[in-house]
């Protein structure tokens, strides 16, 4: 499989799952145990506005190759922008999902951990 030939839609789909898993791991490690609290807390990480904010922290840490992948996702044209996000936030969040999907397929799990922690300010 040539990762560079995978569509941005497919990478974003996969990256969304990768980010969701990182969020769930983080929340469980903090001691959250009820599904109600886990679901409400997870929204603070997975909404487009939150992902866009995280990307502002991540962008300075990206290699040139990672920046290209992020921009490939960010610049993807889409017609369905949720009402809870601006176009800019949604595009940045999509770029983050594409980046994390790409890193996952490259087997760069420690890089995913590093960027996730930096993005959300997790020690």
What is the rounded distance in angstroms from the CA atom of residue 93 to the CA atom of residue 85?
A: 10
Please pick, among 9, 16, 64, 113, the residue that the annotation labels catalytic.
16
What is the rounded distance in angstroms from the CA atom of residue 98 to the CA atom of residue 109?
A: 15
Q: Is 113 a catalytic residue?
A: no
Contacts (Cβ under 8 Å, ≥6 apart) of 47: 84, 85
- Decide if 73 contacts 95 (C-beta within 8 A): yes
Length of the chain: 123
Catalytic center residues? 16
């Amino acid at each position: 499989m040539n990762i560079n030939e995978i569509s941005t839609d497919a990478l974003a789909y996969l990256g969304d799952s990768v980010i969701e898993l990182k969020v769930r791991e983080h929340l469980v490690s903090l001691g959250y145990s009820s599904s109600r609290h886990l679901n409400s807390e997870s929204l603070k990480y997975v909404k487009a506005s939150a992902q866009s904010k995280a990307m502002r922290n991540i962008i300075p840490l990206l290699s040139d190759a990672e920046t290209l992948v992020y921009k490939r996702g960010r610049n993807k044209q889409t017609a369905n922008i949720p009402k809870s996000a601006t176009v800019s936030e949604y595009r940045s969040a999509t770029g983050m999902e594409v980046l994390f999907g790409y890193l996952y397929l490259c087997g760069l799990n420690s890089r995913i951990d590093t960027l996730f922690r930096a993005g959300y300010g997790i020690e």
